[in-house]
Amino acid sequence: MPEKITAQVGDKQITIETGKLAKQADGAVTVQLGETIIVVAAVAATKAKDGQDFFPLTVDYREKAAAAGKFPGGYFKREGRPTEKEILTCRLTDRPIRPLFPKGWYNEVQVQTVLLSADGENDPDILSIIGASAALMVSDIPWSGPLGAVRVGRINGKFVANPNHNERAESDLDLVYVGNEKDVVMFEGAAKEITEADFDAALKFGQECCQPLIAAQKELAAKAGKPKRQITLNIVPDEILKEAKALAGDRFIPALLTPGKLAREGACKAIQDEVGVKLVEKFGAEKVTQFVIKDAFYYIQKEAVRSLILNNGKRLDGRGFDTIRPISGEAGILPRAHGSALFVRGETQAVSLVTLGTNEDAQEFDSYTGGKTEKKFILHYNFPNFSVGETGRISGPGRREIGHGALAERSIEPMLPLETYPYAVRVTSEIMESNGSTSMASVCGGTLALLDAGVPMIRPVAGISVGICTEKDDTASIGRYQLLTDIIGWEDAYCDMDCKIAGTEKGITGFQLDLKLRGLPHDLMTQTLEKARVARLFILGEMAKVLSEPRKEMSKYAPRIIQVRINPEKIGALIGPGGKNIKRIVEESGCEINIDDDGTVNIYSVSAEGMEVARREIEGMTAEAEIGKVYRGRVVTIKEFGCFVEFLPGKDGLCHISELANFRVKMTEDIVKMGDEIWVKCLGVDEKGRVKLSRKAAMAERDGETSDKQAEPAGKQ
């Protein structure tokens, strides 16, 4: 029978139901907020694949166009590869649930979310996390939940739970918070320079909001949950692990303290290979597989790294716990890029390139769930195999690259004046070398490259990663611990946290927390924020030595821009029938021209001459007649009573025969002929928009003619 539970989170209700849909899955729920509804199903294989030596968890999130009452775009009219939004929601769902599966359990698990209804107001990403937790809770899959999840905004200084899209547009904080009954499990998001104290308060608010959801899931599991299945864990046999430790002896400590990432890895690998051979000789190849050797040495190295930190007060590269690796950088390293920079922190290198484009270059995308449909600022992150000295499959960006790029993008974006800046901006971060927190290096390198491009950033942004090494006490709570500023790769792999915080000298702009623990107490997170603040200020100081403010001059290869304001009612005339007019201007000037609905015309060009041609044409075609102004015009019609003169492109006025000269004119043709270019002065515009012109007044103003002076020959005035 279906069971339904409702949780009150702030002023909104979230409903979780199970037993109605996807009943053949191991666990399935629907989650509803407003009229946004998702279904989440979890299934685990009954046994691990032969030779499996890792936990294969797949989390997938998909949005259906039908959920919003729309057709998918494209020729096939069917949803295709996942969008960036879907990939980021997959990662958002995956990261908090992954650490809560049993260590050493290698059965494949799939958690799939499908958007069934989208109201355009409430984002389903938070519901995906809640649904994954609830589906695993009611299933027979072993998992140490439940988890609560909430989006925290701040509007006019007040925290808001699960703000809708309109509220998020007014918020200076976008925090996705995931917690268990006591501790923080994961967070990520962006802010507009929020202080550490306010961010700390936001985390507390998020933790409180999670509790009704956790209680609801526990109640739902009690009513409709399945008994958890019995499992077998793949653990290295005690006798093999003990023998491996004995054979390795004390050699691992000096190997781990070897300077340099590759040298350190090589020294440890040599011991592993030597000991592995001896283990096979003693226990046999059937019992000591390569997977067993790999797992055994993972445990040995992990134990040694943590012992060095907690017992000996040493880090692998010899630094103090709060010491940041040497930082260096260069700006303007690539001649053709509009902006470029190299940022180096220890053995982590990022080369960043900036491209400035027109509004036509902004990224547009479909949105079934509401919110933005265009981005003027894009940051793409690329992580090639050679950056870690390895080979591997070469393909397009994977989920990790998209996630890291999104983190760096949202960290920098609050410091870009995108509403007034006329360019679309793209940053690409090419990782050249990696040993810890390349996403934060991308923030630093991207900032330097933007400054090099002359982008008027409000303030520079820097980022740093802080880790933690913990030891549990007799109550399974964290006893001893050590925070680690600027973690390297093995500290990330063998310790317990990767907390990335980016921001300016005034506050935090981007953040992301990944834990290997089941949760982290709030007071430790408070300490982490302070460590990150101190480190960030130091890095900003080092970056300022490279480039402290935007360059005054843009690259000669970057498109220049001028803006022309026209009457919005003139937009149609400027474009012309079938775009005839604007196409002609683009062709003649070589410029790119964008027209906004408010009458702002952006002209982009690398040629000053072409830009002037376009500006002159646009102003001429859209200008209004100014009373008292003298124009150079062309005679387009001859009448007995005067002539019509085109004094602006597409705009003509009547020069009456009495206004042709400062004497009596018998026939219009005595003074002007068709096609003549003459000077005329605007005398007035009537209520119907008809313009009255005067050649006589223009000549008097330009030449000081007297009343008895004879007219010049037509066509030469």
| 604-633: pLDDT as tens digits | 988 888 888 888 888 878 877 889 999 999
Lookup: tokens for 339: 């902006």
- CATH pick for 3-224 out of 3.30.230.70, 3.30.1050.10, 2.60.120.470, 3.20.20.70: 3.30.230.70
- CATH pick for 327-546 out of 3.20.20.140, 3.60.15.10, 3.30.230.70, 3.40.630.10: 3.30.230.70
The per-residue pLDDT for range 552-566, each reduced to its tens digit, is: 999 989 988 888 888
The per-residue pLDDT for range 631-685, each reduced to its tens digit, is: 999 999 999 999 999 988 778 899 999 999 999 999 999 999 999 999 999 999 9
The per-residue pLDDT for range 121-166, each reduced to its tens digit, is: 999 999 999 999 999 999 999 999 899 999 999 999 999 999 999 9
630-703 topology per CATH: OB fold (Dihydrolipoamide Acetyltransferase, E2P) (2.40.50)
Lookup: tokens for 368: 């079934």
Q: Which of 485, 465, 469 is nearest to 323 (CA)?
A: 485
For residues 407-440, one letter each, b for 16 or more C-beta atoms within 10 angstroms of the residue's C-beta and e for the rest, the string is bbbbbbbbbbeeeebbbbbbbbbbbebbbbbbbb
The structural domains of the chain, with segments of one domain joined by +, span: 3-224, 238-312, 327-546, 560-622, 630-703
Q: What is the pLDDT of residue 563?
A: 86
Amino acid at 653: G
pTM: 0.86
Please determine, for residue 476, whether its predicted confidence score (pLDDT) is greater than 60.
yes
- Domains 238-312 and 327-546 agree in fold: no
Mean pLDDT of 304-327: 95
- If pLDDT is split at 50, 70 and 90, which confidence band does 712 have? very low
- 563 forms beta bridges with 602
The larger pLDDT score, comparing residue 407 to residue 285, is at: 407
Please determine, for residue 716, whether its predicted confidence score (pLDDT) is greater than 70.
no
Q: What is the pLDDT of residue 1?
A: 80
Q: What is the pLDDT of residue 651?
A: 81
Beta strand extents in 358-504 (DSSP E only): 363-364, 374-375, 377-382, 424-433, 462-472, 478-485, 497-503
The larger pLDDT score, comparing residue 607 to residue 507, is at: 507
Would you say domain 560-622 falls under CATH 1.20.140.10?
no
Task: Report long-range pairs for 246-254 (Cβ below 8 Å, ≥24 apart).
Answer: 247/274, 247/275, 247/278, 247/279, 248/275, 248/300, 252/300, 252/301, 252/304, 253/304, 253/308
Gap between the Cα atoms of 5 and 27, Å rounded: 16
- 470 forms beta bridges with 481
Please determine, for residue 46, whether its predicted confidence score (pLDDT) is greater than 90.
yes
The per-residue pLDDT for range 47-90, each reduced to its tens digit, is: 988 878 889 999 999 999 999 998 887 778 888 889 999 999 99
Q: Which of 538, 518, 536, 516 is nearest to 528 (CA)?
A: 536
- Averaged confidence pLDDT in the chain: 92
Would you tell me how many other CB atoms lie within 10 Å of the CB of residue 399?
14
Amino acid at 686: D
The per-residue pLDDT for range 389-430, each reduced to its tens digit, is: 989 989 888 999 999 999 999 999 999 999 889 899 999 999
Q: What is the pLDDT of residue 704?
A: 55
Q: What is the pLDDT of residue 708?
A: 35
Let me know: does 159 contact 177? Beta carbons within 8 Å. Answer: no
The per-residue pLDDT for range 103-124, each reduced to its tens digit, is: 989 999 999 999 999 999 999 9
> 238-312 in CATH: which number?
1.10.10.400
Q: State residue 604 phi and psi, 5-degree precision.
A: -110, 135
Please determine, for residue 582, whether its predicted confidence score (pLDDT) is greater than 50.
yes
Gap between the Cα atoms of 41 and 26, Å rounded: 7
The larger pLDDT score, comparing residue 703 to residue 183, is at: 183
Lookup: tokens for 555: 């690259």
Indicate the length of the chain as a whole number.
Answer: 717
The larger pLDDT score, comparing residue 650 to residue 30, is at: 30
Helix and strand counts by DSSP (H, E) for the chain: 16, 29
The per-residue pLDDT for range 517-546, each reduced to its tens digit, is: 999 999 999 999 999 999 999 999 999 999
